[in-house]
Amino acid sequence: DTGVSQDPRHKITKRGQNVTFRCDPISEHNRLYWYRQTLGQGPEFLTYFQNEAQLEKSRLLSDRFSAERPKGSFSTLEIQRTEQGDSAMYLCASSSSGQGLKTQYFGPGTRLLVL
Amino acid sequence: GQQLNQSPQSMFIQEGEDVSMNCTSSSIFNTWLWYKQDPGEGPVLLIALYKAGELTSNGRLTAQFGITRKDSFLNISASIPSDVGIYFCAGTLTTGTASKLTFGTGTRLQVTL
């Protein structure tokens, strides 16, 4: 299967702990996105990369959040000093950057619960 | 953050019935996408629309990109139990980051036998 993969699928942590999530995009997709989805809502954009460059960050991405894509392939999203409000589904998507619609394909998500 | 307005919020239908849902915005969109999301999973792309007025089908699904570029609808014909899930519209705005998707509030579809 060459779809977007995310790890872990579920994470339970205590408030104040740091967590890190990983996303592996569809191979040869040079754009990678992170979204956050809370219960009953649609996904909300957090940040995106083209290759290794982080080109945009949402205001939702507080300074406790950091995302990296060091080699332009997989990406990590780290949340430091987690808060209960960080509990959500974190979704990763990837797309190409060629001409035409840059359709985004999503991974299965990482569900985070902060106790 | 900004989200698109989707209606209805939820619907209960009988198997075999047709379904219609729509998405509206006060902003002009470049593209419209429709996704389906099952519980605990990521959104799965159903249909992508590129041009105003475009009408596209994917099996029992049909979607249209509104002429004003501020709305889109999705129709599902002859619904079946596996159509159950949450349907999201999403689009990219004509201003701002072309790659950032703005999502609708979702339509929860439940199908009864």
Share of chain A above pLDDT 90, in %: 75
* CB-based contact B42 A109, cutoff 8 Å: yes
SS3 A13: strand
Inform me whether the C-beta atom of residue B93 falls under 8 Å from chain A C-beta atoms: no
Q: How far is B41 from chain A (nearest CA, A)?
A: 5
Give the pLDDT score at B76: 97
* CB-based contact B99 A33, cutoff 8 Å: yes
* CB-based contact A41 B3, cutoff 8 Å: yes
Inform me whether the C-beta atom of residue B35 falls under 8 Å from chain A C-beta atoms: yes
| CA dihedral for A38, A34, A1, B110, sign (positive or negative) | positive
Inform me whether the C-beta atom of residue B12 falls under 8 Å from chain A C-beta atoms: no
Band (A28; pLDDT cuts 50, 70, 90)? confident
CA distance A105 to B42: 9
Radius of gyration of chain A from its Cα atoms, rounded to whole angstroms: 14
Q: Where are the alpha helices (DSSP H) in chain A?
A: none
Give the pLDDT score at A96: 83
Residues of B in contact with A4 (CB under 8 A): 42
- In this predicted model, what pLDDT tens digit does every residue of A45-97 receive, in sequence order? 999 999 999 988 988 888 999 999 998 899 999 999 999 999 999 999 998 87
Radius of gyration of chain B from its Cα atoms, rounded to whole angstroms: 13
Q: How far is A40 from chain B (nearest CA, A)?
A: 8
**Residue B58 β-bridge partners:** B61
Would the pLDDT of A4 be above 80?
yes
Picking from B101, B104, B105, the nearest residue to A45 by CB comes out as: B101
Q: How far is A88 from chain B (nearest CA, A)?
A: 11
Give the pLDDT score at A98: 66
Full pLDDT tens readout for chain B, 113 residues: 556 899 999 999 999 999 999 999 988 888 899 999 998 899 999 999 989 999 999 999 999 999 999 999 999 999 999 999 999 999 987 665 667 899 999 999 998 87
Give the pLDDT score at B97: 60
Q: How far is B21 from chain A (nearest CA, A)?
A: 15
Residues of A in contact with B104 (CB under 8 A): 42
Residue A85 CB neighbours (<10 A): 9
* CB-based contact A95 B99, cutoff 8 Å: yes
Per the listing, tokens 């890190």 go with A20
